[in-house]
Amino acid sequence: MNALFYSIKPNTALLAYGLFLATNAMSIWGGVFPFLPLTFQTPQLLFWFFLAQATLFSCTFFMSAACSYFFPHMPYRRMIIIAASCYFTGWAALILSTYLASHTLILIGIAGVFLGAGSAGYYLLFQRLFVSQEATSGMHNIILGSAYAALIYFMLYAVPTAVTVYLAPLVFMPLFTLALIINARAINEEQPMFVDIPREHPHVYKRTWLVFWRSALCMASLGLCTGIMRARAIDNPQVGSYVNVLSMCALLIAALTFLLLWKMGNVSFNVLAIYRVLFPLILTALALLAFLPIGYTSWLAAGLYAIYSVALLLLMLQAGCASRDYGVNPLFLFGLMGGVVFLLHDVGFIAGSFVNIAFISIDVQPSDTALLAVWILSVIYFVTHHKLRSEIASAFNNPAIELPDSLFERTDKQHTSSKNKLEKHPYESADAFEKTAAEHTQSCNTAQNKALQIKRGNDIAGETPVKAPSSNISNKESAHQHKNALHESHAKRSQHPARSMFDTKEAVSDDMKQDRIELHVDAVRKAFNLSAREAEVVNQIVRGKTAACIAEELFVSLNTINTHTRRIYTKLGIHKKDELVKLVEQAQE
């Protein structure tokens, strides 16, 4: 019971994050303003607001990645002040737009710009805060904070609508901003991911992106679908209420499920595998738009946005784990991955809006936009799970359908039968090959035809013709030399049977030793709750590799390896490398 209470006990960091998510949902999630009057939510105002908000949102993420790469030591408190100023300005412009009818469109655009930049800034700041914490605490705060966000959002419906709009900039925002400032004091700025200068280790950052770009693109495809459905929802603002409620319910269920699974043991997720499971389900849901009533569109938009909300939770968890494991700046990795995800969301929103505007004279059916989403999803699935060059190469190197390359070389039945014999027994049928080659040589009139026939005979035998023989005698000599070479190689092998047996046993023994080390390391990982990257470092240390060698093989900096080593020693309660080796050797498989 105490363990369960501890797992759901709040702290200032996770409550601040939950309050931010709930406040953010009041203006951004779902495609509408759920706490503003419906008469204010015209399609034109919603389009320009969300276009400005979504564009600045993704641009802020990319800008954060660029600034963290070229200016990695920007003060954390200064970033908090910038994000708070943008967020407050956006909310102020949004509230003023409801009173100044003559300037509504301008104020809506300003609100979208500043709310997009401010909300993205807070996302990045909370990510940096949670990554700076110990791995278990940081991930626990993200998951539990998401659950509290749903609860806080549902509580807002108990507050009068006229009051709720003013609570966001005047009460909620100062609270989670103050919590960020207080928790910033506990951040250890000496961690490798904060003191590292990315321009000195560009290969580390390149390697990290090459590892995670596929998972980022998979989550971005969900953002693209939600962007398209958001464009459809603009015409019906009431859809937003379904979207907000269902997305918050999905976030609450997912967070509680993660915590429950985590309580039962170690939990690991593969974003690509999850995407492979969801891909056919999403395609089926989009295809049903052509057969179900128009009301199905609202529920599909809500369902897709619910999945998208869970995907953003996984995005933060994955980016945090990668920043710790690879020692890269959390603002860089989360900024780059988040920028890709939200950029495709913007592309989907713009594409869906363009379809609605371009074909305004035509009654655009929901199935038309669904067809666009299915096409883009299919392309992204192929790009993230297959390599075009290798797929093309494998398509023409598979023996399932085989066209023999000697179709035009069949001059008579005798030639065909000799070819089959040579394919089955290329070395035992040398005499037959010589006879066939001699007969073809005699039938040729010119030296050019003679060389061509001999070359084809070598191709049929499965050999590579380096030099065309000049006569039958040279053919016989080359065949006998090849036979002698084979006999000599067999004789050499038979002279030292014990030696070859010893080499084989030694190789098998080395493989068994390597497998035994991996089993022992895996036992240590399970017993002491090590992460996958920490277990990998232990594996390399036990094999006798230096820290510099490990850093080079894992494409990380030396400071990152030293930090992993200190954490490993702390978790295992040891102080020396010899103690680590002894502990691994004594581990039960």
pLDDT in tens, 85-134: 999 999 888 888 888 878 888 888 898 899 999 999 999 999 999 999 88
Chain segment 508-564, per-residue pLDDT in tens: 445 555 577 788 888 888 777 787 788 888 888 888 788 888 877 777 777 778 788
**Three-state SS across 197-221?**
CHHHCHHHHHHHHHHHHHHHHHHHH
Round the average pLDDT of the chain to a whole number and report it. Answer: 75
Length in residues, the chain: 589
Place of tokens 């609450």: 252
Picking from 189, 191, 176, the residue whose alpha carbon sits closest to that of residue 13 is 176
Sketch out the chain's domains with CATH numbers. 2-391 (1.20.1250.20), 410-490 (no CATH), 517-586 (1.10.10.10)
CA gap 312, 126 in Å, rounded = 13
pLDDT above 70: percentage of residues in the chain: 70
Q: Looking at residue 241, what is its pLDDT? A: 67
CA gap 410, 376 in Å, rounded = 49
CA gap 306, 254 in Å, rounded = 10
Reduce the DSSP state of residue 468 to 3 states and report it.
coil
CA gap 489, 288 in Å, rounded = 67
pLDDT above 90: percentage of residues in the chain: 14
Q: Which amino acid is at 490?
A: H
231 confidence band (pLDDT: 50, 70, 90): confident
Q: Of 222-236, 451-465, 501-515, which has the strongest mean pLDDT?
A: 222-236
Helices (H), 72-103: 76-97
CA gap 119, 60 in Å, rounded = 9
Reduce the DSSP state of residue 445 to 3 states and report it.
coil
Q: Which amino acid is at 538?
A: V
Q: What is the pTM of this model?
A: 0.71
